[in-house]
Structure 1
Amino acid sequence: MPLATLIHRASLPSPQVSAEQALELLEEHYGLSGRLQALGSQQDLNYRVDSEQGRFVLKICRGDYSVLELQAQHAGLKHLGEHPDVHVPRVIPAKSGTDLLTLDVGGQTVHARLLDYIEGQPLTSLEYFTPEVVAGFGHLCGEMDLALADFDHPGLVRTLQWDARHAHALIAHLLPVIKDENQRRLIVEASGQAERHLLPLESKLPVQAIHMDITDDNVVWQRDKLRHWQLQGVIDFGDLVRTWRITDLSVTCAALLHHGEGDPFCILPAIKAYHAVNPLQREELLALWPLIVARAAVLVLSGEQQVSVDPGNTYSRDNLVHEWEIFRVATSVPLALMEAAILTSVGEQLSVIGSEGFAPLLPYLVGREFALIDLGVLSPHFEAGNWEQPGIDQRLLDEAAAAHGLAASRYGQYRLSHTRPDSAIEPDTFPLHVELRVPHGTTVEAPFAGVVHHSASGALQLDGPQLSVRLWGVTPSLHSGAALVKGQVFGAVSGPLIVQLCRDASLDAPLFCTPSRAAAWQALCPSPAALLGLACDAEAELDGSTLLARRDASFARTQKHYYVDPPRIERGWRNHLIDMQGRSYLDMLNNVAVLGHGHPRMAAVASRQWSLLNTNSRFNYAAVAEFSERLLKLSPDGMDRVFLVNSGSEANDLAIRLAWAYSGGRDMLSVLEAYHGWTVGADSVSTSIADNPKALSSRPDWVHPVTAPNTYRGEFRGPDSAPDYVRSVEHNLAKIAEQNRQLAGFICEPVYGNAGGISLPAGYLKQVYAMVRERGGVCIADEVQVGYGRMGDFFWGFEQQDVVPDIITMAKGMGNGQPLGAVITRRDIAEALESEGYFFSSAGGSPVSCQVGMAVLDVMEEEKLWENAQIVGSHFKARLESLIDIHPLVGAVHGSGFYLGVELIRNRETLEPATEETTALCNRLRELGIFMQPTGDYLNILKIKPPMVTSRQSVDFFVDMLSKVLAEGL
């Protein structure tokens, strides 16, 4: 290899050509004039040209570059132009007909050429890449290599500093540029290890023409109407070369490392996508991570070198931050782990371990029955949050051993005790070991020949030719360094026994890992079941995607689910939901579970009543009377009758029937943008197009929607807009009167729930209620979403408007998830229904529901949940409001207590809804451990309605993560 050429190339500053000189060049040779904008590059000089003839890129490089190499790039662009799967720029010929100019500019020889400009933007400054964007890079890289597989040119045989074949020599040469001794040591160690892994693979790596710079700088993207990033094309073919094919993917993956929040596993979607379109050989898969590490070392060394010779190059200086982050991430995990991760991600396996000849580790216990303790997410041993107690797993094992003699945990069973509430960090829930309780003094024998010693983690370790077995809780009987034969005693159990296997004796494997790293670590640390003679492996759980497919095959499609690929949720505790891998998600959606999930009082009360009786309300039992009395005590004076039903939809449907019966009319006023339920009656008065896109065109003629009194984005804005909105009510009332029809009533949420909890303008309900009653109608307050103490400052939503309705409907939080709803009204209204026959709800007012309903009220009082909604809710709103001054996307914060809405907009003057951004934000929050969904007719409002046990810690976590995602750019 001509090392002198390589070193010279690595030390060149970019050419010095001013914008004025570039404009002269363009005018003289291309007949173009216009505006120039400098584009970043490490060693070239690039200008964007905006002219009347279009937009182009002027590329200028030093004359040291070979003309043959530049001609190869142009030939490559022409070749790729014939492949529809890869979009690349066209080379624009000069007036002379040549596509490459060699010129003297200011006393320096330069090469210049003009290319098409691909509209869009690189994603270098985007902090976080979604898995879909990462996969897009990998797919593009695979398509590019496929397209270049049959391309060749003499100019591809070149010495290039970025060519992975020269990495070792370049690193050795540039190392002195690093002044920090610790940084130098890290680079030497990492690059040396990478080189040792690559050497036996190099001769087997396929060679072809590759782009070798498909990075965040050189791939152009644009957002579509749904705010999804779409690939537009690839630019900058300055590194086109013939070398190992896998180098292309290694360069791409290295560039992705500073967009993955420090997680090297973030590159796996790119590898899978590449492999799907352009299958990689096993040797390439094994070489990939060492090449990425070597690339990371070259990046920081080259970057530091470039800044030292060209200190004015801000592009290079700014990139240094990214390059050091890439190196940090690339060296943050063992090479063996990433090798296993890459292989398993594409369905490859590590070499098979021949375990047939292993001797038992605990021979005197072979055939003895162990109690295998369930420590998983659905374990019956866990209740009321006891898994949060320190040492709970060990205590359960101790208790089982005391009862049964022998006990063991399961290898690979996700542990509930390791979940992490209010954390964006994926928890270490996957055990890579088995923990046993066996009699002290039980002898431990070598399952294979090897050498015994103490590991750095304190384990007694036996290293054999294929495997290393690590034991905690064993007192050794031999000195460290002793060589053992199979079956030889080398210790005795002296405490809780932990057994872990590992393929790599030098690897410091954890006892637990995250679910996303489980496949890789499991390949490196297989189950010790064969050595123990114990069937202790966890049973395979039904994954979320398989379960979703079964659901879709039998459950009616109109019954939607959150998210495209929802996790499987089977457990909850307080204001968190827990998936089957033990990850806790902050629940910001469940206004039904006011007391939180898994409340022990609910379980005890429901269980007790189920053991006694559950029937319908036509039987005579105490609970229905007691619960009705308690509801009336919470209601305004004059309310003296209760109907118990099973849902909010049924409650609102019944309220409409009561209005019909009492008034003698059928015409109802409802408010636009509102949702009241799914029964025929409740759906008829629902006008939310978010819930039903055809809502406005499918209302029956007895429903008269009035203008939504939305003080933020409505027709009239501000707190004093009530008279303006009342005119819409007057208009509709006049229309009903002109038709000689009798008004039945008016239904409205006293606080605008579906719009995120917007308060109605002051005095609005007082004026509307008076007009409705004057015309013989009744006033229905739909408190299903916003009532029952959730708003914090008041128990009922209508209290904010200083009015008393004729009918109150409620449900949701009344039963903490138990089907339970109610209609509260006056006796004269209630008895008006008797003329149409009696009313009955099969599940409404059942003994179980009534007991649960009373228990909910008890717990809300005992645990001061109304006070919590007021105090923590006020803190919540204040923190959310602080985001308005930080993030332009946040337009307003509505509501109070634990019913809040964050409205996202693109323009603070036009209030253009940020619908697609809101969806993207909710999906990103889920990745960070938060469940959140949009609401409103434009689906641009975060509908925040968590359980009323939500803590200040959870609130701060939510707002911090919301601010983080907004800062990432949506």
Structure 2
Amino acid sequence: MTKPATTMINGFDASRLGSLPERERSMIERRQAMLGPSYRLFYEQPLHLVRGQGVWLYDPDGNAYLDAYNNVPSVGHCHPKVVAAIAEQAAILNTHTRYLDEKILDYSAKLLATFPEEIDRVMYCCTGSEAVDLALRMACYYTGGTGIIITENAYHGTTAASAAISPSLGPNMPLGVHVMTVPAPDAYRSEGRDVAEMFAENVSKAIAFMQRRGIRPAAFIADSIFSTDGIFSEPAGFLKRTLEVVHEAGALYIADEVQPGFGRLGSHMWGFMRHDIVPDIAVMGKPMGNGLPIAAAVMKGEIQERFGRDIRYFNTFGANHVSIAAANAVLEIIRDEDLMANAVSTGNDLLNGMRMLQQRFDCIGDVRGAGLFLGLEFVKDRQSREPDGARSLAVVNRLRERRVLISAAGLHGNSLKIRPPLPFGKEHAEIFLTTLEAVLHETN
């Protein structure tokens, strides 16, 4: 079996700096000198972007790149309605939540209306990492526990608490001492076993391991499409049994909706809804403001009531007026432009197109996903299903050369991660599929 990746998937190798054109080489040298080595760049040849519009990004020479990867500009880069909302509000008022204001209340009502009725409270912050951090604090306080269960290659953020439950950050980022990992719900490698039962059993074993060592479980956290684990979406509903197991142990279920939320999966506004479950807490990040610094945790009232009664919470920039205006525009655009229906339609075109390619290229082991969140897994051999991370990386970089942008995911980095802005349409899907086919011929 191929060893898991130890460096950032699709990260630029700084040892190749001398092979780059002078303009890019100079920028990277300045970047390294001032920002330091922690900041990573994508692609063998890093991309210099100066402008974005809709599903397109542009370099300094005016070349257009089809964006099939970036979920943060959820309704498209520089959407005119979001830009107008930001500008209008910035010219009027921008301050914090310790003053009364109607707009945060109106937006909160709209946001909560998209969730099941059991979820009736919202708390704001600036990033998904902060939202996860807050959710963990609340879960531990509510349950009295400290144990957290995650999947093997999860990513949940970059604060101290969220990084400690993010093994995808690499082996040099230690996990929390009370953090347990379980294998992702990989139907492709389930050997015919029921994915729902298999995953719930693994979570149950993790809980038992904690309890045997005197650790009280506080929460299980996952994003509903397991995006960094390799994109695992099927069958819809497989998380129901896991929710039961978590609740039987007295722990909370936290749904990380930063990536699958806001209609990305097409059939539902929130990824957990595909599984017909109601989490105790759900978190969301910058896609809610199309990239502006706004994020939130929503939760059942009794959880927030206990936490809020005993612990004061404040986030100076969370839910500022300008970010609320952007977030409100995003909700309206998703509704008015029927972007969830587009996610279903275009996503089906992409799935069908990739499955046709799967029939012609033996290196494609599996194709999966929902809406505009899709994965294509490369294997060295269809019988052994051995991951082929090198091919995945080659395809990602050859697509970049042809000005189509995606990245990769999974414990072995062998799955293409296709996650474009929501206006990505049928004409864009055709460009992507045609370009992917050409690259597969080149790398076959």
Query: TM-score of the superposition, structure 1-length normalised?
Result: 0.43
Equivalent pair of 2:237/2:274 in contact (CA under 8 Å): no
Match of 1:868 in 2: 342
What code does the residue aligned with 1:917 have? Answer: R
Q: 1:719 to 1:734 in 2, by over 3 A?
A: closer
The superposition leaves residues 21-54 of structure 1 with CA deviations (integer Å, 9 ceiling, x where unpaired) of: xxxxxxxxxxxxxxxxxxxxxxxxxxxxxxxxxx
What is the Cα deviation at residue 756 of structure 1? 3.9
Match of 1:710 among 175, 186, 200: 186
Match of 1:728 in 2: 202
SS at 2:119 equivalent: coil
Match of 1:683 among 157, 163, 167: 163
What code does the residue aligned with 2:338 have? Answer: K
The superposition leaves residues 86-133 of structure 1 with CA deviations (integer Å, 9 ceiling, x where unpaired) of: xxxxxxxxxxxxxxxxxxxxxxxxxxxxxxxxxxxxxxxxxxxxxxxx
Match of 1:629 in 2: 109
Equivalent pair of 1:572/1:597 in contact (CA under 8 Å): yes
Match of 1:820 in 2: 294
Structure 1: where are the runs of 5+ without partners? 1-225, 227-272, 274-515, 517-541
Match of 2:217 in 1: 743
Work out the CA distance in 2 between the residues paired with 1:852 and 1:823.
Answer: 17
Structure 2: where are the runs of 5+ without partners? 1-9, 11-18
Match of 2:411 in 1: 937
Work out the CA distance in 2 between the residues paired with 1:792 and 1:759.
Answer: 13
What is the Cα deviation at residue 742 of structure 1? 2.2
Q: Does 1:907 align with 2:381?
A: yes
Match of 1:554 in 2: 34
Match of 2:154 in 1: 674
SS at 1:891 equivalent: strand
SS at 2:171 equivalent: coil
What is the Cα deviation at residue 835 of structure 1? 5.6
Work out the CA distance in 2 between the residues paired with 1:551 and 1:969.
Answer: 32
SS at 2:327 equivalent: helix
Work out the CA distance in 2 between the residues paired with 1:719 and 1:609.
Answer: 53
Cα RMSD (Å) = 2.0
Match of 1:409 in 2: none
Q: 1:763 to 1:857 in 2, by over 3 A?
A: closer
What code does the residue aligned with 1:659 have? Answer: A
What code does the residue aligned with 2:178 have? Answer: W
What code does the residue aligned with 2:126 have? Answer: N
What is the Cα deviation at residue 894 of structure 1? 1.5
What is the Cα deviation at residue 836 of structure 1? 5.1
Identical columns (%): 34
The superposition leaves residues 555-594 of structure 1 with CA deviations (integer Å, 9 ceiling, x where unpaired) of: 1321111124323211011101001101000011111111
Equivalent pair of 1:756/1:894 in contact (CA under 8 Å): no
Equivalent pair of 2:266/2:343 in contact (CA under 8 Å): yes
Equivalent pair of 2:151/2:229 in contact (CA under 8 Å): no
Q: Which structure's CA Rg is the greater one?
A: 1
Match of 1:834 in 2: 308
Equivalent pair of 1:719/1:762 in contact (CA under 8 Å): no
The superposition leaves residues 221-261 of structure 1 with CA deviations (integer Å, 9 ceiling, x where unpaired) of: xxxxx9xxxxxxxxxxxxxxxxxxxxxxxxxxxxxxxxxxx
Match of 1:59 in 2: none
| More displaced 10-residue stretch of structure 1: 555-564 or 719-728 | 719-728
Equivalent pair of 1:606/1:852 in contact (CA under 8 Å): yes
Equivalent pair of 1:750/1:760 in contact (CA under 8 Å): no
Match of 1:308 in 2: none
Match of 1:925 among 396, 399, 409: 399
Map 1:178-193 → 2, pairs under 5 A = none
Match of 1:640 in 2: 120
What is the Cα deviation at residue 760 of structure 1? 5.2
The superposition leaves residues 174-210 of structure 1 with CA deviations (integer Å, 9 ceiling, x where unpaired) of: xxxxxxxxxxxxxxxxxxxxxxxxxxxxxxxxxxxxx
Equivalent pair of 1:649/1:677 in contact (CA under 8 Å): yes
What is the Cα deviation at residue 763 of structure 1? 5.0
The superposition leaves residues 455-486 of structure 1 with CA deviations (integer Å, 9 ceiling, x where unpaired) of: xxxxxxxxxxxxxxxxxxxxxxxxxxxxxxxx
Q: Does 1:781 align with 2:261?
A: no
Match of 1:800 among 259, 262, 274: 274
Match of 1:610 in 2: 90
SS at 1:781 equivalent: strand
What code does the residue aligned with 1:606 have? Answer: I
The superposition leaves residues 537-569 of structure 1 with CA deviations (integer Å, 9 ceiling, x where unpaired) of: xxxxx9333222222221132111112432321
What is the Cα deviation at residue 765 of structure 1? 2.2
What code does the residue aligned with 1:750 have? Answer: S
| More displaced 10-residue stretch of structure 1: 717-726 or 666-675 | 717-726
Q: 1:717 to 1:622 in 2, by over 3 A?
A: farther
Q: Does 1:596 align with 2:70?
A: no
Match of 1:657 in 2: 137
Equivalent pair of 1:757/1:786 in contact (CA under 8 Å): no
SS at 1:746 equivalent: strand
Match of 1:580 in 2: 60
Q: 1:870 to 1:609 in 2, by over 3 A?
A: same
Work out the CA distance in 2 between the residues paired with 1:664 and 1:870.
Answer: 41
SS at 1:585 equivalent: strand
Work out the CA distance in 2 between the residues paired with 1:677 and 1:759.
Answer: 21
Map 1:271-282 → 2, pairs under 5 A = none
What code does the residue aligned with 1:861 have? Answer: R
Equivalent pair of 1:720/1:761 in contact (CA under 8 Å): no
Equivalent pair of 1:790/1:866 in contact (CA under 8 Å): yes
Work out the CA distance in 2 between the residues paired with 1:762 and 1:952.
Answer: 24
SS at 1:709 equivalent: coil
What code does the residue aligned with 1:700 have? Answer: G
SS at 2:282 equivalent: strand
Match of 1:118 in 2: none
Work out the CA distance in 1 between the residues paired with 2:69 and 2:236.
Answer: 28
Match of 2:171 among 693, 718, 729: 693
Work out the CA distance in 2 between the residues paired with 1:760 and 1:887.
Answer: 23
What code does the residue aligned with 2:179 have? Answer: V
Q: 1:717 to 1:786 in 2, by over 3 A?
A: farther
Q: 1:756 to 1:741 in 2, by over 3 A?
A: closer
Work out the CA distance in 2 between the residues paired with 1:622 and 1:543.
Answer: 48
Match of 1:961 in 2: 435
Map 1:205-284 → 2, pairs under 5 A = none
Equivalent pair of 1:543/1:568 in contact (CA under 8 Å): no
The superposition leaves residues 836-885 of structure 1 with CA deviations (integer Å, 9 ceiling, x where unpaired) of: 52112222111011110000011111111111111111111111111101
Equivalent pair of 2:199/2:242 in contact (CA under 8 Å): no
SS at 1:843 equivalent: coil
Match of 2:6 in 1: none
Q: 1:712 to 1:619 in 2, by over 3 A?
A: same
Report which structure shows greater RCO (CA 8 Å, sep ≥6): 2
SS at 1:612 equivalent: coil
Q: Does 1:881 align with 2:355?
A: yes
Match of 2:99 in 1: 619
SS at 1:893 equivalent: strand
Work out the CA distance in 1 between the residues paired with 2:329 and 2:340.
Answer: 15
Work out the CA distance in 1 between the residues paired with 2:220 and 2:241.
Answer: 12
SS at 2:358 equivalent: coil
Work out the CA distance in 2 between the residues paired with 1:852 and 1:719.
Answer: 45
What is the Cα deviation at residue 720 of structure 1? 2.0
What code does the residue aligned with 1:709 have? Answer: P
Equivalent pair of 1:648/1:812 in contact (CA under 8 Å): yes
What is the Cα deviation at residue 913 of structure 1? 1.5
What code does the residue aligned with 1:731 have? Answer: K
What is the Cα deviation at residue 943 of structure 1? 0.6
What is the Cα deviation at residue 719 of structure 1? 6.9
Work out the CA distance in 2 between the residues paired with 1:756 and 1:623.
Answer: 38
Match of 2:283 in 1: 809
Work out the CA distance in 1 between the residues paired with 2:254 and 2:370.
Answer: 22
What is the Cα deviation at residue 829 of structure 1? 0.5
Equivalent pair of 1:644/1:821 in contact (CA under 8 Å): yes
The superposition leaves residues 32-87 of structure 1 with CA deviations (integer Å, 9 ceiling, x where unpaired) of: xxxxxxxxxxxxxxxxxxxxxxxxxxxxxxxxxxxxxxxxxxxxxxxxxxxxxxxx
Work out the CA distance in 1 between the residues paired with 2:24 and 2:310.
Answer: 48
SS at 1:547 equivalent: helix
Equivalent pair of 2:178/2:215 in contact (CA under 8 Å): no
What is the Cα deviation at residue 762 of structure 1? 5.7
